[in-house]
Structures are given as structure tokens and as C-alpha cells.
Amino acid sequence: QKEVEQDPGPLSVPEGAIVSLNCTYSNSAFQYFMWYRQYSRKGPELLMYTYSSGNKEDGRFTAQVDKSSKYISLFIRDSQPSDSATYLCAMSDRGSTLGRLYFGRGTQLTVWP
Amino acid sequence: DVKVTQSSRYLVKRTGEKVFLECVQDMDHENMFWYRQDPGLGLRLIYFSYDVKMKEKGDIPEGYSVSREKKERFSLILESASTNQTSMYLCASSSTLRQVTDTQYFGPGTRLTVL
């Protein structure tokens, strides 16, 4: 069993829809949670970073962490065609600057106009 | 801005060739990583390094080696390339000295095809 599970999709939604992306994990030591966005033919870029449990909001994006269920989510409100990308969850027990990250497989999202 | 560059965007090699993939970062980061990315498998860590001349195996080190002679440069070596090493290779770096909430910065990737 992989330490981080993520449904690869693909996910296709109309413009303006609310998108929900999810990951589950097995290692209870994870406490740093990240979402990366990767456009086609580019490297991943950090989108959201959450420490421990709770919610974090940044514009149209909301990241949620439920450590009791070992479940994290990324919500995209009012989705736009420019949000079309692969979204990767990542997590760590020591933070991305002190140790390695564990990545999900990535979910491919297409937002059509 | 942090910049991570990789020597080639696209590379085509033949089975059995020795292949060098180069990665350079310009922000004096201590940590550097090599991943490969395949459809349906996501990012898998091959090797990483916390300091010059130091290296640690990731999840899939077989068939690969690495070299870090200078802080800014981390090389991935395929001693004898095989077709199952056809993949997208991504390099990343991060700084131990930054806040723990800082990120890993990725290069644009090298698409390697082994014929």
C-alpha cells in the first residue's frame, strides 16, 4: 500500500463548477500537507500549504486537513479553464525543507468553457 | 526567484548508453532531489542529497546513481540505459535554513526516451 493515495481521475468539469480533490494517507506522523499544481510540460509548483489539521483559504482555493481520518482535500471554487492541470498532494512528517515529501499520483483536471 | 534548471528538455538515447542528467539550482539550497514521473504512478523519488558529496536512496534507486560534487549541481546517472527508464525526470531543491513551510522548487523536467 502506498503511503499516499490519490485518485488519478481524469476529472472533467464545466467552467464555474466547484472541484473537490482528495488524498488519503496511512502515516500518522505526517503533519505538513501540500498541494502542487503541474501544468502540461512544466514542473510542479506549490499551490497550498497546511500544517496539522484545519482549513486554509487562498482566493478560490481551500485546503482542508482531517488528521483523525487521514484525509486531505483541495476545493476550487468558480473553476476556470486556466485551472486545467494535474494536482498533486504531498505530505511530510518534518516539513518540506527538512525531509522528503511523499506524493500522491496526481489528479488530472480539465475545466471546459 | 528560485531557479532550478535541467540540462535538457528532451533526450533520446539508445539501450545500453550511459546517460547523464544535470540539475543546477541558483539559491544555495542544501537539499536536492531527483524524481521520475510516469502516468498513473505519479512522482517517485529516486535519490536525494542533503549536502555536498552526500546522497540517500529514495524509493526506486535501482539502475541509477547520483553525484553531488558542488552544492548547486546534482547529477543523475543511468549507467546502462534501458527502455523501462523512459520517463519524465524532475529535479527539485529546498533549503533547510528556510522556514519549514517553504517548498521544494522543481525544474521543468527532462523527457528521456530510451530506444
Q: Which of B41, B58, B101 sits opposite A95 (nearest CB)?
A: B101
Mean local confidence (pLDDT), B26-53: 91
Average pLDDT over residues B18-28: 95
Give the model's pLDDT for residue A52: 82
pLDDT for B69 equals 95
User: Looking at residue A4, what is its pLDDT?
Assistant: 93
- Percent above pLDDT 70 for chain B: 92
The residue whose grid cell reads 527532462 is B110
B21 CB neighbour count, 10 Å cutoff: 20
Q: In whole angstroms, what is the distance from residue B19 CA to residue B7 CA?
A: 12
Which pLDDT band, with edges at 50, 70 and 90, does B41 fall under? confident
User: What value does the mean pLDDT take over residues B7-12?
Assistant: 93
d(C-alpha A41, C-alpha A45), whole Å: 12
B90/A8 touch (CB, cutoff 8 Å), yes or no: no
Query: Of A34, A94, A103, which has the smallest distance from its Cβ to B43's Cβ?
Result: A103
Which candidate, B86, B76, B35, places its Cα nearest to that of A88? B35
For B46-102, what is each residue's pLDDT tens digit? Answer: 999 988 988 999 999 999 999 999 999 999 999 999 999 999 999 999 887 655 556
Q: By C-alpha distance, which of A92, A109, A87 is closest to A50?
A: A92
Residues 6+ apart with CB under 8 A from B90: A43, A44, B34, B35, B36, B37, B43, B106, B107, B109
**Other CB atoms closer than 10 Å to residue A59's CB: what's the count?**
8
What pLDDT sits at residue A74? 97
CA-to-CA dists, residue A84 to A28, A33, A74, A106, B107, angstroms: 31, 21, 14, 13, 20
Helix or strand or coil: residue B30? coil
* Segments of chain A with pLDDT less than 50: none
Contact call for B104 and A96, based on CB within 8 A: yes
